[in-house]
Chains A and B, each alone.
Chain A
Amino acid sequence: AQSVTQLGSHVSVSEGALVLLRCNYSSSVPPYLFWYVQYPNQGLQLLLKYTTGATLVKGINGFEAEFKKSETSFHLTKPSAHMSDAAEYFCAVRGSGGYNKLIFGAGTRLAVHP
């Protein structure tokens, strides 16, 4: 079975500081991993994904994540936080079966203060 654990339901950083959102996964099949962002009253938007190949994945808005198989982790980072990054972030792993069902973590709310 597949599952996702996001450490820290709330993270607060200063504008310009490093953003680090943690995600650990469990998967019985080779994992495909995703990070989504959700702004208030909006749907989820894909930030980046890992399927195969390069383990360091770059996404939109300056975010990147590194797949570490030995640590079963897929942490999301951004070198310098911007006020507009304040949102809810979800890590997800593909479910089993022949299609792209997603299993989500509980989410991390990122606050950015001046």
Chain B
Amino acid sequence: GAGVSQSPRYKVAKRGQDVALRCDPISGHVSLFWYQQALGQGPEFLTYFQNEAQLDKSGLPSDRFFAERPEGSVSTLKIQRTQQEDSAVYLCASSLEGLYGDEQFFGPGTRLTVL
């Protein structure tokens, strides 16, 4: 497809369950970002990849959050032992280079609800 895709679009998890969220960036885009958007808030940066290298994970809220992009394309955000405060929309974005000013193209997000 032409845009960034994410799956699943909706995920309901019981507290303590592990979840995996997938992002398919635009083909050829070097940079990939994950953001967390809580209800009524703006997106907050989680982590950044340049190709397969995770260059910044300063926004990951705890060690229960883990992201990977092993082949420099598809990325997975994993949350272990989910908590209610993890409920949010998780957005993935990709850009051609990731340089200052580059447009980030966003996927539709995965809405995670933890019961």
Give me the interface of A with B, judged by CB distance under 8 Å.
4, 9, 32, 36, 41-46, 49, 51, 90, 92, 94-95, 97, 99-107
Give the bracket for the number of chain B residues in contact with chain A. 20 to 34
Stretch at the interface among B13-21, B44-52, B60-68: B44-52
Contact of A101 with B48 in the complex, beta carbons under 8 Å: yes
The complex places the Cα of A105 from the Cα of B103 at a distance, in Å, of 17
Contact of B108 with A90 in the complex, beta carbons under 8 Å: no
- Chain A: which residue is nearest B9 at the CB level? A41
Contact of B42 with A51 in the complex, beta carbons under 8 Å: no
Contact of B41 with A44 in the complex, beta carbons under 8 Å: no
Contacts A43-B108, A106-B40 given; indicate if A51 touches B45 (C-beta within 8 A): no
The complex places the Cα of A45 from the Cα of B55 at a distance, in Å, of 25
Cβ-based interface call for B31 (8 A): yes
Cβ-based interface call for B112 (8 A): no
Contact of B31 with A99 in the complex, beta carbons under 8 Å: yes
Contact of B106 with A45 in the complex, beta carbons under 8 Å: yes
19 A–B pairs (Cβ distance < 8 Å), ordered by A: A9-B40, A36-B106, A43-B4, A43-B93, A43-B106, A44-B91, A44-B106, A49-B101, A49-B103, A90-B42, A92-B42, A99-B99, A100-B95, A100-B102, A102-B33, A102-B43, A102-B104, A104-B44, A107-B40
